Amino acid sequence: MARISAAERRNDFVRAAVEVIANRGIDGATTRRIAEQAQAPLATLHYCYDSKEDLLADVFEFVTSRFREAIADSDPHADLAVTAHAILRGVMEFYVESASLGTTALELINWARRQHGEHAITVYDKAMETVRTALRNAAADHPVEPETIDQITYVIACLADGFGLNWLTYGDRSAAAEQMQISASVLESWLAARLESSPAAL
């Protein structure tokens, strides 16, 4: 039998922790349950991680990196409006296809705010900056004011997070499809009004 490296084991424990946290919350995510989910001895988990907090830090980074990847992967390298729509849809689809990650993200944000508030803010800021970067690149040929990029980023975050909370609460796929269209139409209407009134866009 091939020996599993410590890095592979840590990856197993991180993915197992995502599932346990999604089902039981942070407090219910004991190291024993995480080890059982990973089908590994508890002693191996404690060998890989000095504490549960160290494991949660890796889980936090894994979940937020997946969100950033979803944003980056949704960037069509098109114009500003098309890019904004693609990012919004990409994040909404990420919520639907990755319910455990979405639930775990909410749990981790609440935990991080209680434990180390600045860390939660920094991680969220990184995700927002990924959106801003994609939007700035999309607007390169027809620059808009930095304030407009910030506003579009905020609107995307509000629509995506609102959709995500609704999806994670109800889990209704048929409703989710309709709500995606509603969210997209709200963004379309807002973008049309905002970009038309932006001096730099004229």
* Per-residue pLDDT reduced to its tens digit, 81-97: 999 999 999 999 999 99
* CA 150/CA 132 separation, integer angstroms: 7
CB atoms within 10 A of CB 3: 5
Q: What is the pLDDT of residues 59-88, one digit of tens each?
A: 988 998 998 899 989 988 889 999 999 999
- For 60-197, CATH gives 1.10.357
* Amino acid at the residue 77: H
Q: What is the pLDDT of residues 142-170, one digit of tens each?
A: 888 999 999 999 999 999 999 999 999 99
The residues spanned by each domain of the chain are 1-49, 60-197
Q: How confident is the model at residue 182 (pLDDT cuts 50, 70, 90)?
A: very high
Alpha-carbon torsion angle 126, 111, 36, 66, nearest 10: -10
* Amino acid at the residue 90: G
pLDDT value for 118: 76
pLDDT value for 131: 94
Angle of helix 52-73 relative to helix 80-97, nearest 10 degrees, comes to 140
Residue 99 has pLDDT above 60, yes or no: yes
The closest alpha carbon to 21, from 11, 31, 7, 9, belongs to 31
Cβ within 8 Å of residue 137, ≥6 positions away: 75, 77, 83
Fold for domain 1-49?
A: Arc Repressor Mutant, subunit A (1.10.10)
Alpha-carbon torsion angle 127, 120, 91, 196, nearest 10: -60
Q: How confident is the model at residue 188 (pLDDT cuts 50, 70, 90)?
A: very high
pLDDT value for 126: 85
* CA 186/CA 155 separation, integer angstroms: 10
pLDDT value for 117: 64
Better pLDDT: 121 or 201: 121
Q: How confident is the model at residue 120 (pLDDT cuts 50, 70, 90)?
A: confident
Q: Among all chains, which residue has been given the structure tokens 């455990």? A: 100
**Two structure tokens written together for 124:** 């969220």
pLDDT value for 178: 95
**If 0-12 CB within 10 Å is exposed, 13-18 middle and 19+ buried, where does residue 25 land?**
middle
- Global pTM reads 0.86
* CA 172/CA 59 separation, integer angstroms: 27
pLDDT value for 199: 47
Average pLDDT, the chain: 89
pLDDT value for 201: 42
